[in-house]
């Protein structure tokens, strides 16, 4: 699939190239979520949600100017909704704000991670996270298919099992170990690397279950038909949306206490 190499190349380049790619991915995921919410009679203002999402994500690299833009867009959304003649205007407003803020805010964690430390450190950490997420998905699927007996969250996603969840953790640690061995100058020691894998193994599946819950409520199988056979971008990045900000918070705490 060509999308993965393109994404990894953008991750390697970093800077504005990667930031713009994340903004575009975030916009597509926002549209997919808006379409899902429409099926639940929760209607968001598409243009307003997308406009709000851009400065929300840019808070990760240019907080001062981004905050001013967020205020301006919020005022625009509020004023527009006040004069919109609809009995459920406040429901639309809250849906617009939720979609406009949630996805880009979570996705900005990957941008924070890519810009952590020097250029190479940021790339290695972000790359390792993505590899762990992919490995978690593969191992969880294989482990669940071959050994799955106990359902993890039957009301949300009946196919997911406790055994698959455990195998997903093993996949995270395997991917982390390979990255530590194969990547020269890996910036983490064992004490700081293990929690990184634990967070990814925990929050990645949580992001997956979150999307499954939304799709189940919307009565659909895939977030969209953007990639036939693979679903939409939300299907591809659901685990990253939760694990990236968790990792960003973790490494920011380590940096604050001068541990990393």
Which band of pLDDT confidence, cut at 50, 70 and 90, is reported for residue 87? low
Report yes or no: 176 and 197 within 8 Å, Cβ to Cβ.
yes
Report yes or no: 188 and 196 within 8 Å, Cβ to Cβ.
yes
SS3 134: helix
Are both 187 and 93 inside the same structural domain? Answer: no
3-state secondary structure 78-122: HHHHHCCCCCCHHHHHHHHHHHHHHHHHHHHHHHHHHCCCCHHHH
Report yes or no: 140 and 171 within 8 Å, Cβ to Cβ.
yes
Domain around 188:
117-260
Are both 213 and 252 inside the same structural domain? Answer: yes
pLDDT in the model for residue 82: 79
Q: Is 229 left (phi over 0), alpha (psi -120 to 50) or beta?
A: left
Please say if the pLDDT value at position 1 is more than 60.
Answer: no
Please say if the pLDDT value at position 24 is more than 60.
Answer: yes
Which band of pLDDT confidence, cut at 50, 70 and 90, is reported for residue 202? very high
Are both 152 and 106 inside the same structural domain? Answer: no
Q: How many domains does the chain have?
A: 2
Rounded to 5 degrees, φ, ψ at 143 are -65, -40
What b/e sequence results for 188-227 when a residue is b if at least 16 CB atoms lie within 10 Å of its CB, and e otherwise?
A: beeeebeebbbbbbbbbbebbbbbbebbeebebebbbebe
Are both 27 and 140 inside the same structural domain? Answer: no
pLDDT tens-digit map of 100-138: 999 999 999 999 999 999 999 999 999 999 999 999 999
Are both 137 and 247 inside the same structural domain? Answer: yes
Are both 144 and 226 inside the same structural domain? Answer: yes
Are both 131 and 102 inside the same structural domain? Answer: no
Are both 111 and 139 inside the same structural domain? Answer: no
The residue among 83, 115, 147 that closes a domain is 115
The residue among 55, 86, 115 that closes a domain is 115
Report yes or no: 187 and 260 within 8 Å, Cβ to Cβ.
yes
> What is the spatial distance between Cα 234 and Cα 203, in angstroms, rounded to a whole number?
15
Average pLDDT, rounded, for the chain: 92
The two three-digit tokens of residue 3, written as one number? 């999308």
pTM (predicted TM-score): 0.94
Angle 12-13-18 from CA coordinates, rounded to 5°: 100
Which band of pLDDT confidence, cut at 50, 70 and 90, is reported for residue 158? confident
Flag whether 7 is in a domain. no
């Amino acid at each position: 699939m060509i999308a993965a190499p393109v994404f990894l190349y953008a991750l390697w380049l970093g800077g504005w190239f990667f930031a713009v790619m994340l903004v575009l991915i975030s916009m597509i995921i926002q549209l997919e979520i808006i379409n899902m919410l429409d099926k639940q009679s929760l209607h968001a203002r598409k243009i307003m949600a997308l406009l709000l999402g851009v400065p929300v994500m840019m808070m990760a690299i240019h907080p001062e100017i981004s905050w001013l833009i967020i205020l301006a867009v919020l005022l625009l959304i509020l004023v527009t909704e006040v004069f919109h003649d609809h009995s459920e205007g406040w429901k639309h407003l809250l849906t617009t704000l939720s979609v406009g803020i949630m996805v880009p805010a979570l996705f900005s964690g990957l941008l924070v991670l890519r810009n952590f430390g020097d250029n190479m450190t940021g790339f290695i950490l972000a790359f390792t996270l993505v590899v762990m997420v992919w490995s978690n998905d593969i191992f969880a699927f294989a482990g669940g298919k071959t050994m799955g007996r106990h359902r993890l969250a039957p009301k949300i996603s009946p196919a997911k099992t406790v055994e698959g969840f455990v195998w997903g953790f093993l996949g995270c640690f395997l991917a982390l170990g390979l990255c530590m061995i194969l990547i020269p100058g890996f910036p983490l020691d064992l004490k700081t690397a293990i929690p990184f894998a634990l967070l990814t193994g925990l929050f990645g599946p949580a992001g997956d279950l979150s999307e499954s819950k939304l799709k189940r409520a919307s009565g659909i199988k895939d977030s969209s038909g953007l990639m036939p056979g693979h679903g939409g971008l939300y299907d591809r990045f659901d685990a990253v949306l939760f694990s990236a900000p968790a990792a960003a918070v973790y490494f920011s705490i380590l940096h604050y206490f001068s541990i990393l």
